[in-house]
């Protein structure tokens, strides 16, 4: 039975990236009282493709005022409280990010009316930027204003708990951008037919480390067919590098949606050697084993010894070792691909995310108060 929340939901985001559309549509369809999304626009240099509307929910475009850069970045969202006054939600979900200066006002507005606020985020990783230590000391007081936390991953949940937030009010909704696959993956031959095919899908930025993937392919005895799908500021430099060290690499350009299907179908192995990784879930839905760089914790839930390899970021030798091991046994690779498919079918997909969100919404609604917090 489809999970239902009977109240009226408000959801705040700094920006509304197009990849979140399926999740927001599905969550909105589970809100009997309706859902409204408030989000602003990204900075021009972020490379975020913003969605324009929602079919199943009200979408209000706010005004993001971006302050400073890099580790000093802050954002104020003009119109956030006015949106709440217009929508009058039963529950508010916000991003768990202290850099967003308008969040405390929205929380206070809800709490003055005895309404709960849920924060949703990736966790609180160890500080590594200027003033990060100071910011980390402020993190517990930022979190304590919320009635519940939803973490992207188990690691994120543990990080929130380590900051003193009550574990019984922390929930995990595994971060996903795609539904459970509706059809079985393509049956692949037990042995490679010709050269094994390695696939990369993503924006071509320096942090994606496609340069390391090219160099690793150049060291593979099997001479794999490398397909790079995507575009971005590093494309020209990467094509130039490929011309020197791995001329057989094929650069396809940007593809989206159904355009990606033939490349996922052709591949034997999916590799993301740098940060990011929204395409990992989609690759797994096509029955592909994966190699990914460790990141924010979401990879730890999605990629396991049974379906792939997690490697330290910026560790070229680890990438080479993992690729050699993957391509050394086609039969094992097929079994790992089958496990990838099982994980995204049964455990981690946007349907499971929505189930967790609705469960938390209903739990807060049934509690009848805000856990004794004062506005």
| pLDDT tens-place string over residues 31-47 | 999 999 999 999 988 87
Least confident piece of the model among 16-20, 215-219, 247-251: 16-20
Query: How far is residue 227 from each of residues 116, 213, 262, 269, measured CA to CA in Å?
Result: 47, 11, 11, 11
Q: What pTM was estimated for this model as a whole?
A: 0.89
pLDDT at 372: 42
pLDDT at 114: 96
The runs of H, that is alpha helices, within the chain are 21-29, 80-87, 103-112, 132-143, 154-162, 210-219, 235-245, 261-266, 279-285, 298-302, 316-327, 330-346, 350-367
Q: What is the arithmetic mean of pLDDT over 61-83?
A: 95
- The H or E element that residue 58 is part of is strand 58-61
The residue among 290 and 371 whose pLDDT is bigger is 290
DSSP per-residue letters across 117-178: EEEEES--PPP-STTHHHHHHHHHHHHTT-SEEEESSHHHHHHHHHTT--GGGEEE----SS
pLDDT at 135: 65
pLDDT tier at 368, thresholds 50, 70, 90: low
| pLDDT tens-place string over residues 173-191 | 999 988 999 889 889 999 9
Domains of the chain from N-terminus onward? 9-178+349-367 (3.40.50.2000), 197-346 (3.40.50.2000)
Q: How far apart are CA 154 and CA 141, in angstroms?
A: 22
Tokens of 57: 């929910």
Tokens of 302: 């999605």
Q: Tell me what percent of the residues of the chain surpass a pLDDT of 90.
A: 81
| pLDDT tens-place string over residues 104-161 | 999 999 999 999 999 999 998 776 666 556 567 789 999 999 999 999 999 999 999 9
Instruction: Round the average pLDDT of the chain to a whole number and report it.
Output: 92
pLDDT at 252: 97
- The yes-or-no verdict on residue 337 having pLDDT over 90 is yes
HEC string for 333-350: HHHHHHHHHHHHHHCCCH
Query: Bridge partners of 188?
Result: none
Query: What is the radius of gyration, based on Cα positions, of the chain?
Result: 22
pLDDT at 256: 84
**Of residues 350, 357, 351, the one with CA closest to residue 92:** 357
pLDDT at 371: 47
The residue among 129 and 316 whose pLDDT is bigger is 316
Among 20-29, 65-74, 360-369, top mean pLDDT goes to 20-29
Q: What is the arithmetic mean of pLDDT over 346-368?
A: 93
């Amino acid at each position: 039975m489809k999970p239902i929340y009977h109240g009226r939901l408000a959801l705040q985001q700094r920006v509304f990236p197009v990849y979140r559309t399926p999740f927001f549509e599905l969550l909105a369809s589970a809100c009997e009282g309706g859902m409204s999304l408030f989000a602003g626009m990204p900075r021009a240099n972020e490379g975020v493709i913003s969605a324009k509307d929602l079919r199943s929910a009200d979408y209000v475009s706010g005004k993001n005022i971006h302050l400073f850069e890099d580790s000093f970045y802050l954002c104020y969202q003009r119109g956030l409280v006015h949106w709440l006054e217009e929508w009058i939600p039963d529950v508010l979900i916000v991003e768990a990010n202290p850099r967003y200066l308008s969040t405390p006002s929205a929380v206070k507005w809800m709490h003055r009316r005895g309404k709960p606020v849920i924060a949703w985020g990736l966790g609180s990783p160890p500080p590594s930027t200027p003033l990060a230590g100071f910011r980390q000391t402020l993190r517990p007081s930022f979190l304590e204003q919320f009635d519940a936390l939803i973490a992207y991953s188990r690691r994120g949940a543990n990080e929130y708990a380590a900051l003193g937030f009550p574990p019984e009010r922390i929930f995990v909704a595994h971060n996903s951008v795609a539904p459970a696959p509706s059809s079985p993956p393509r049956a692949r031959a037990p042995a490679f037919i010709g050269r094994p095919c390695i696939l990369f899908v993503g924006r071509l930025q320096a942090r994606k480390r496609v340069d390391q993937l090219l160099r690793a392919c150049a060291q593979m005895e099997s001479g794999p067919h490398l397909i790079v799908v995507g575009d971005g500021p590093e494309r020209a430099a990467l094509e130039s590098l490929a011309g020197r060290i791995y001329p057989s690499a094929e650069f396809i350009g940007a593809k989206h949606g159904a355009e990606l299907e033939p490349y996922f179908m052709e591949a034997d192995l999916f590799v993301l050697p740098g940060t990011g990784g929204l395409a990992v879930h989609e690759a797994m839905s096509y029955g592909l084993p994966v190699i990914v760089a460790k990141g924010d914790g979401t990879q730890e839930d999605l990629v396991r010894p049974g379906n792939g390899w997690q490697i330290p970021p910026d560790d070229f030798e680890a990438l080479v070792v993992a690729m050699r091991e993957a391509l050394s046994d086609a039969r094992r690779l097929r079994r790992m691909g089958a496990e990838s498919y099982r994980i995204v079918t049964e455990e981690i997909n946007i349907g499971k995310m929505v189930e967790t969100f609705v469960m938390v919404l209903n739990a807060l609604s049934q509690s009848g108060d805000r856990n004794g917090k004062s506005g």
